Chain A
C-alpha cells in the first residue's frame, strides 16, 4: 500500500487515491516515425528490478499527473516531481545516486 506526496497539492496521498500510469519520460513517436520507433514508444517499457521512473495521477485528489522515482524491488520512493519534465530533476537523481551506488538510466549514471 504505497504513499506518494503529490507535488501539485502537497498531499501525502494513499495509493487508493491515485492511479498508476506506467513508465515516465516516454517520447511520443507519431507520423513519420519508423515501425521500430512506434513499437518502442507503445510497448517496450522499461521493467527494471530497481529504480523506476513512473507516472501517477492524483485522480481522487487534485487530478494532476506527477512523476515518481521508485524502487520496484523494495518499493522505496526516492521522490516525486513534476510531470512537465523530460527527465528526472537533479535533486532526485542525486538522491538515487546516493542510495543506489552504480545506478544507471539512459544516458545518466
Chain B
C-alpha cells in the first residue's frame, strides 16, 4: 500500500513522515516518533488514555486517522514541561496524588490542559464533565478533580 506524506508539528518540532494511510495518530506518535507517553487502552474511543492536543483542543488520538491531521500542531504529555519546569497541572497532579499506576495520567493531563485552555476557571461540575471521557481505574477521580480545581483557582502559576 502506497505511503503518504504527513506533515506534523509535535511539541514544537516539525516532522515529515511517510506513513500508510491507515495509521492512526496514536500509532504515528508512539511507533514512528517514539513518544510513548501517550497510551492506548481500549480501541473503542472509550478510555481517553490516548488524549492529545490537536490544534489546542483535546482529541482521542486512537480514533483519528493520522492523515487527517496533516499540517496540524500536536502537543503530547512530553510537551507539557519546559525543561525542569513542570506545567501547573503536572505540579498539581504531584501534590494531590492525582495519579497512581500512571497509565491514564498522560490522557488526563492532556484532557485537563485542553479544558483549561478553553475555560481557565471551570467549576467542579465542569471539571467532571471535562474528564468524563477518561477512565482512571486507580484514583476514583476525586484527587484528579481536586488537582485541576487547584490550578483553576490559580494556586499554580506557570514557572518563569
Q: A and B from one assembly?
A: no
Taking Cβ atoms with an 8 Å cutoff, the residues of B that contact A are: none
Taking Cβ atoms with an 8 Å cutoff, the residues of A that contact B are: none
